Amino acid sequence: MKLMKAKLCPVSLNVTVRRFVYAREVSDDALIRLVDGCKTLSALQNLHFKIVGRRHLASDPSVAVKLMRSYAACGDIDCARRLFDASTQRNVVFFNVMIRSYVARGHHWEALRLFSDMVRLEGVKPDNYTYPCALKACSCSENLCCGVQIHGDVSKLGLDSNIFVGNALITMYASCGICIDAHRVFEGMLHRDVVSWNAIIAGYVQNGLNEQALKACREMVQLQGPRPDAGTIASISHAMMNDKPEEIGFIRSLFNEIKNRNLISWNAMITIYAKNSMSEKAVQLFREMEKEGLKADEVTLASILPACGDLSYLALGKQLHEYINQQNMYPNMTLENALMDMYARCGCLNEAREVFNHMKKRDIASWTTIISANGMHGHGDQAISLFKQMQGSGLMPDHIAFVSILSACSYSGLLDAGKYYFDCMSKRYQLVPRMEHYVCMVDLLGRAGQVDEAYAFVRQMPIEPNERVWGALLGACRVHSNMSTGLVAADHLFQLFPKQAGYYVLLSNIYARAGRWKDVASVRSIMLSKGIKKPPGCSSVEFENKIHMFYIGDRSHPQSKEIYAELDVLMGRMKEVGYNAETETALHDVEEEDKEVHLMVHSEKLAIAFSLINSGPETPIRITLNLRMCGDCHHAAKLISRITSREIYIKDTNRFHHFECGACSCGDYW
């Protein structure tokens, strides 16, 4: 019967079942085949009823096993167990099916209790199918004691050489945190398949042994044994955090070799790129995945949405949002939080708030994301209001939530509120401040002009200050021209990171503000001798699904002629309303007129001019900058927003600036 061999969907299968149930003559084979393919509980119950009416089938142990397996697959584990208990001819197959069913449904203790009953039963002995299931139950329940006992039993029986048993032992020991024994089992295996390698790699990663995991990956390739598969990429992906480009390149080469790549392998590789700040490559790979015809799932979206935020790829982010709506993936806090974060980092605070407002449920990450979003955009009071609402909802703020509210206070100059929340951490919530909280406090005090208090705070820290703490202090010294403390902070930074260009630039700016040009020259000479180069400023703009990038003095863009003509017009109009170039930190060894020319072609201004040429007055201008925005460009952006009546959003490495009607959301406090 061809119909029975065809793959039926649950609806058509139900119809077929009803036809057979009410048919007068139905073959035994037809009934059994329907049981094997049954996907819904009601259909299975109808089939079971028909089978009970045929004594020769009802008393057949193999039929009982098939019914047990199908009931478990349909989610009725209790009915499967009743069939098991009712059977008088239970053999090893009965036990294996029931134990496997328990494990598949997450009932690990029941699986182990049944395994224990089996071991004590006369005439029924576990086999090479039983032990892997029992060991998986040990792994999932982290029952090391039972796992060790099983290991002893399989060794006595000589089953430890069985590849399935060996793989299960590796996973069991690793899940229980005993990587030494997992490695010992792995090394003792006579034969290994790709599952064996994936198990030891995943075990290393699970226990934080990322270097060993990568080493095992390389060894797997070097030995020219089984080829890596999707499971290999998925296992190693959790170890790839802040890794060297060559390591990521190696994993990409494994990914490229996989034939018939499935969604798991694509997701794992996209996640690796996203976690390692390689957002452009993550988006590029996502595009390749789409061309292959694979549809994104929750894991894909949760990885690619943050990459869109990093790159300010608003158009792609909106497409993904639409896809989530079309696929009706709500409610889903992981995706909703990712959408909020994407919109916030693309400068769309209203859209982020809209996502937040429509959430049916919110966790601490939801609140933290929207608080942080308001803080980045300079809405400190709103961030505080949201923090209070979170407290009122019954959720307990965690360390990350306090980083968000302290940062928001810092961005908006809310000194007293920031001090209150820092004290609140330990006094009300018994949370010990971490390094990131100290960074926020130094930044808060420094921005508010309390540089001496900030330095005193650093000296009283109970933990050794890191480069971010000293960097925040040095930045405050630049803003407030505090030479003495700035030199102390710079000295610590040069010891910690002797080749970090940004810190030399900050010190150079402090000297420049004080007019100490010899010291400026000295700093630049040191940078030259050490081969340290300041990264060039780069501003990017998304237009018609393409990213346009501009560097200082850039003339490589096809529209350069129009861009520079627009700049000339803007410069003339700005001067009419009082613009004077802020040249104090520009190159000191050129004439004042040349300084103005140098400032005029900064990447931010080129990006603004490009956007003005290519978009209508109703379209907000959105720019992403790879450095901290300079004072002259900030002043110019305010004036341009006024004379053109355009909204301008600029995201620099520090925060968002929303320019409108000649003012900035930061209140000139950045």
Instruction: With respect to residue 96, please indicate whether it lies within any of the assigned structural domains.
Output: no
Long-range contacts of 338-341 (CB under 8 A, 24+ apart): 338/301, 338/302, 338/305, 338/306, 339/305, 340/366, 340/369, 340/370, 340/373, 341/305, 341/306, 341/309, 341/369, 341/373
CATH of the domain at 510: 1.25.40.10
pLDDT of residue 73: 87
Any idea which residue has 């039926």 for tokens?
8
pLDDT at residue 59 greater than cutoff 80? no
pLDDT at residue 123 greater than cutoff 90? no
Least confident range from 50-54, 70-74, 196-200, 629-633: namely: 50-54
Contacts of 299 (CB under 8 A, 6+ apart): 263, 267, 271
pLDDT of residue 596: 64
- Calculate the dihedral angle through the C-alpha atoms of 168, 170, 171, 174, rounding to the nearest 10 degrees: 160
Over residues 273-302, the pLDDT tens digits come to 999 989 999 999 999 999 999 999 999 999
Q: How far is CA 601 from the centre of its chain?
A: 36
Quick one: pLDDT band at residue 17, thresholds 50, 70, 90?
Answer: very low
pLDDT at residue 394 greater than cutoff 70? yes
472 lies in the same domain as 542: no
pLDDT of residue 590: 45
pLDDT of residue 26: 66
447 lies in the same domain as 518: yes
Quick one: pLDDT band at residue 25, thresholds 50, 70, 90?
Answer: low
Quick check: helix, strand or coil at residue 657? Answer: strand
500 lies in the same domain as 544: no
444 lies in the same domain as 524: yes
Instruction: With respect to residue 647, please indicate whether it lies within any of the assigned structural domains.
Output: yes
pLDDT at residue 509 greater than cutoff 90? no
602 lies in the same domain as 500: no
Long-range contacts of 458-464 (CB under 8 A, 24+ apart): 463/435, 463/438
Least confident range from 436-450, 573-587, 618-632: namely: 573-587
**Residue 653 is part of which domain span?**
538-664
Contacts of 323 (CB under 8 A, 6+ apart): 296, 301
- For 333-360, give one letter per residue: b (16+ CB within 10 A) or e: eebbbbbbbbbbbbbbbebbbebbeebe
Quick one: pLDDT band at residue 594, thresholds 50, 70, 90?
Answer: low
Inter-residue contact 427 to 416 (CB < 8 Å): no
pLDDT of residue 231: 92
pLDDT at residue 10 greater than cutoff 50? no
Instruction: With respect to residue 444, please indicate whether it lies within any of the assigned structural domains.
Output: yes
For the segment 533-540, the average pLDDT, to the nearest whole number, is: 88
Inter-residue contact 310 to 277 (CB < 8 Å): yes
For the segment 582-590, the average pLDDT, to the nearest whole number, is: 55
572 lies in the same domain as 433: no
Q: Which residue has the higher pLDDT, 45 or 584?
A: 45
Over residues 164-193, the pLDDT tens digits come to 999 999 999 999 999 999 999 999 998 999
Quick check: helix, strand or coil at residue 315? Answer: helix
Instruction: With respect to residue 573, please indicate whether it lies within any of the assigned structural domains.
Output: yes
pLDDT of residue 591: 47
398 lies in the same domain as 518: yes
Asked which of 483, 498, 530 is the last residue of a domain, the reply is: 530
Asked which of 530, 546, 579 is the last residue of a domain, the reply is: 530
pLDDT of residue 403: 97
Nearest residue to 588 (alpha-carbon basis) of 521, 505, 510, 526: 521
Quick check: helix, strand or coil at residue 659? Answer: strand
Quick check: helix, strand or coil at residue 450? Answer: coil
- Cβ–Cβ contacts within 10 Å for residue 492, how many? 19
513 lies in the same domain as 577: no
Give the type of residue at 275: K
pLDDT of residue 667: 80
Q: Which residue has the higher pLDDT, 223 or 321?
A: 321
pLDDT at residue 670 greater than cutoff 80? no
423 lies in the same domain as 523: yes
For the segment 484-502, the average pLDDT, to the nearest whole number, is: 91
Highest mean pLDDT among 141-150, 511-520, 595-604: 141-150
Instruction: With respect to residue 582, please indicate whether it lies within any of the assigned structural domains.
Output: yes
Instruction: With respect to residue 241, please indicate whether it lies within any of the assigned structural domains.
Output: no
pLDDT of residue 5: 35
Instruction: With respect to residue 505, please indicate whether it lies within any of the assigned structural domains.
Output: yes
pLDDT of residue 584: 62
427 lies in the same domain as 546: no
582 lies in the same domain as 656: yes
Instruction: With respect to residue 34, please indicate whether it lies within any of the assigned structural domains.
Output: no
Asked which of 496, 530, 564 is the last residue of a domain, the reply is: 530
Q: How many domains does the chain have?
A: 2
390 lies in the same domain as 463: yes
Quick check: helix, strand or coil at residue 283? Answer: helix
pLDDT at residue 592 greater than cutoff 60? no
